Amino acid sequence: MGLPSNYTAAPASEFLLMCFPNYQSWQHWLSLPLTLLFLLAIGANATLLVTIWLEASLHEPMYYLLSLLSLLDMVLCLTVIPKVLAIFWFDNKAISFSGCFFQMFIMNSFLTMESCTFMVMAYDRYVAICHPLRYPSIITDQFVARAAIFVVARNGLLTMPIPILSSRLRYCAENIIKNCICTNLSVSKLSCDDITFNRLYQFVAGWTLLGSDLILIILSYSFILKAVLRIKAEGAAAKALSTCGSHFILILFFSTVLLVLVITNLARKKILPDIPILLNILHHLIPPALNPIVYGVRTKEIKQGIQKLLRRL
C-alpha cells in the first residue's frame, strides 16, 4: 500500500514505525504473547512496589534498591511497549517528532540507570558479606537516597545529548523508521546530515556507562567470592551466597539479553534484519517481567509480604 507523498517530501513532523519490514505477518502472532508479557511485567512490578511500601519489615535499604529497579522497569515498559502494541493491534504506526525523541531519551537513560542500579545492589551485597558489622552504618536510608540521585543524575545527564543530537538533524527525505521503537541508529539514518558524531557519542557514552558498571559488579562479586571461600563454618558459605543469588540471576537476565542484542546488531548482515528488532522489544519486556518474580520466589520476606497483601484483598 503506497504512502501519501507528504510523508516523504516535506521535512518530517512525524515518523512512521514500520515493525518487521520484511515479515510484517510476525505482528499477528507476536501481539498476544507480547501483550501478556507486558501485563505480567507491569502487574508483577506494581505488586512488588505495593508490597514493599505496605510491609514494614521490608523498609530496608536492600528492598528500597529493589523498588528503584522495579520503578525503572515500569517506566521503561510503559514508555516503549504500549506504542509497539498499538502498532500490532491497531496499525497505529505514526509517532510525533517530539514523542519519538522522548522515547529515545527514556530508552537510553533508563537502560543505563538499570545497569547502575545493579552496580549499587552489587555494592550492597559486597558490604553485607565482606563487612557485615559495618553494614548498618554504611548502607543506610541516606545512602540509598544519595545512590538514587546519582543513578538518575549520572545517566540522565550523560545520555541526554543522544536524543538532542538526533533531534537537531535535518529530516528532509524518507520518514519511515524500520523498527518498532525510536532507537537512535534507526532514526538518525533517515537524516540528510552527517551522523558520525551522533553515533560516536552514543557508542562512547553507552559503553563507558555500561562498561564501568559491569567492571564494578565483577569486582564486587570477586571480593564476595573470595570472602565466602574463607568461611569455615558448615553451611555458612552457602547461606552467604544465597543472599546474592537473586541479584546475580537478575544481572544474568539483563546482561544476556543485552549481549545477544549487541551481537545480533553487529552481525546484522548475516541474519534477518527483523531479528534485532524483535530482540530489542524483548529486552524491554523479559527482564522487567522476570525481575520481580525472581525476587518474589527466592526471597522469603518478599514472599511473605505478598501473601499478606493478597490476604488483605
9-54 pLDDT per residue, tens:
445 678 999 988 777 677 778 889 999 999 999 999 999 999 999 9
The closest alpha carbon to 80, from 256, 287, 283, belongs to 283
How many other β-carbons are positioned within 10 Å of the β-carbon of residue 38?
21
Q: Which grid cell sits at 8?
A: 516523504
- Contact in structure between 295 and 63 (CB atoms under 8 Å): no
Does the pLDDT at position 144 exceed 70?
Answer: yes
Instruction: Give the chain's end-to-end CA distance (angstroms, integer).
Output: 51
The closest alpha carbon to 63, from 312, 299, 308, 310, belongs to 299
> Which tens digit of pLDDT belongs to each residue from 213-271?
999 999 999 999 898 888 776 666 676 677 788 788 888 888 887 787 777 767 666 77
Provide the β-strand partners of residue 14: 96
What is the sign of the dihedral through the CA atoms of 52, 53, 57 and 62? positive
> Which tens digit of pLDDT belongs to each residue from 158-177?
999 999 999 999 887 688 99
- Predicted TM-score of the model (pTM): 0.90
Q: Which grid cell sits at 271?
A: 541474519
- Contact in structure between 20 and 27 (CB atoms under 8 Å): yes
CA 1 to chain centre: 35
Does the pLDDT at position 4 exceed 60?
Answer: no
Q: Which grid cell sits at 284?
A: 524491554
How many other β-carbons are positioned within 10 Å of the β-carbon of residue 292?
27
pLDDT band at 295 (very low <50, low <70, confident <90, very high): confident
- CA distances to 115, 119, 200, 203, 290 from 211, rounded to whole Å, are 9, 11, 16, 11, 23
pLDDT of residue 236: 66
Pairing of strands 176-177, 94-96: unpaired
In the chain, which ranges are continuous DSSP H helix?
A: 6-9, 26-54, 61-90, 97-130, 135-138, 141-159, 161-167, 184-188, 196-229, 236-266, 274-283, 286-298, 300-312
- Give me the helix-helix angle, 97-130 and 141-159, nearest 10°: 140
- As a whole number, mean pLDDT of residues 127-131 equals 92
Provide the β-strand partners of residue 16: 94, 176
What is the sign of the dihedral through the CA atoms of 20, 25, 26 and 31? positive
- Contact in structure between 182 and 189 (CB atoms under 8 Å): no
- Contact in structure between 24 and 191 (CB atoms under 8 Å): no
Beta strands, E only, 128-178:
176-177
- Which residue shows C-alpha cell 545493579? 118
